[in-house]
Structure 1
Amino acid sequence: MLKQRAIKFVLVLLLSMTCLASNPFNALANGETATDLTQLEQAIKEDMINRESNFTINYVGDTTKMLGSLGIVTKQAEESDGYLHLSWTTIRYQVSGEAGKASINFTVEYLTTMDQENFVTSQVKEIVPTIITATMTDFEKEKAIHDWILKNVAYDYKVQQRTAYSALTSGKTVCSGYAMLAEKMLTEAGIKTIIVSGSIPGGLHAWNMVQIDGNWYQFDATNNDVRGNTTKYYNKTDAYMTKNGFVWDKTKLPQALTVYQPETAKSSKSNQESSQLLMKRE
Structure 2
Amino acid sequence: MRNVTSRLLVLAIIILAAYSLELKLDLFPSISDPDEPVAAVSKQQVKLNTLDGTVTESSVAGEGPYDKLELELAAGFQARSGQFSVTYTGNRKQLSDNMTDIIRSALMHDDYSAYILESYLYTIRSWGNKSTIAIEAKFRETKEQSAEVDAHVEATLAKLITPGMNDHEKVKVIHDWIVTHVEYDQSLSYYTAYEAITLGTAVCQGYSLLGYRMLEKAGLEVRIAEGTVNTGEHAWNMVKLDGIWYHLDLTWDDPVGAEPGSPIRYSYYLKTDEELRLDHGWTREYPAAENAYADALQAMENGGNGEQARLAAKLKLAIGLHWLEEKNTVRGKDALKTTIAGAIHDGAGGLQFRYTDADGFPEALKEAFEDAPVAVGYRASYEPYAGDDSLIVNIQLEYP
TM-score (norm 2): 0.58
Larger radius of gyration, structure 1 or 2? 2
* Deviations, residues 108-127 of structure 1 (Å, cap 9, x unaligned): 11001111111111111111
User: Is the 1:136–1:269 contact (alpha carbons within 8 Å) kept by the matching residues of 2?
Assistant: no
The within-5 A match list for 1:17-56 is 19-21=13-15, 32-35=53-56, 37-56=66-85
Q: Which moved more, 1:256-265 or 1:193-202?
A: 256-265
Distance 1:110 1:179, change over 3 A: same
User: Is the 2:239–2:245 contact (alpha carbons within 8 Å) kept by the matching residues of 1?
Assistant: yes
Say whether residues 1:247 and 2:281 are aligned partners: yes
Distance 1:216 1:73, change over 3 A: same
Map of 2:113 onto structure 1: 84
Distance 1:204 1:198 in 2: 6
Count residues with an aligned counterpart. 251
Distance 1:254 1:21, change over 3 A: same
User: Is the 2:222–2:238 contact (alpha carbons within 8 Å) kept by the matching residues of 1?
Assistant: yes
User: Is the 1:82–1:196 contact (alpha carbons within 8 Å) kept by the matching residues of 2?
Assistant: no
1:56 positional shift? 1.4
1:181 positional shift? 0.7
Identity of aligned residues (%): 30
SS at match of 1:106: strand
Distance 1:242 1:274 in 2: 31
1:249 positional shift? 3.1
The structure whose RCO (Cα within 8 Å, separation 6+) is larger is: 1
Uncovered stretches (5+) of structure 2, i.e. residues with no partner: 1-11, 20-51, 58-65, 259-263, 310-400
TM-score (norm 1): 0.81
Distance 1:49 1:265, change over 3 A: farther
Map of 2:202 onto structure 1: 173
SS at match of 2:141: coil
Distance 1:197 1:161 in 2: 17
Map of 2:140 onto structure 1: 111
User: Is the 2:196–2:207 contact (alpha carbons within 8 Å) kept by the matching residues of 1?
Assistant: yes
Distance 1:257 1:24, change over 3 A: closer
User: Is the 1:137–1:265 contact (alpha carbons within 8 Å) kept by the matching residues of 2?
Assistant: no
1:168 positional shift? 0.9
Distance 1:149 1:272, change over 3 A: farther
User: Is the 2:55–2:69 contact (alpha carbons within 8 Å) kept by the matching residues of 1?
Assistant: yes
Map of 1:224 onto structure 2: 253
Distance 1:53 1:24 in 2: 29
Distance 2:194 2:303 in 1: 33
Uncovered stretches (5+) of structure 1, i.e. residues with no partner: 1-17, 26-30, 276-282
For 1:120, which of 139, 146, 149 is the aligned residue? 149
Distance 1:271 1:191 in 2: 23
SS at match of 2:293: coil
The within-5 A match list for 1:1-282 is 19-21=13-15, 32-35=53-56, 37-226=66-255, 228=258, 229-244=264-279, 246-249=280-283, 252-261=285-294, 263-264=297-298, 267=301, 271=305, 273=307
> RMSD of the alignment, in Å?
2.5
1:129 positional shift? 1.6
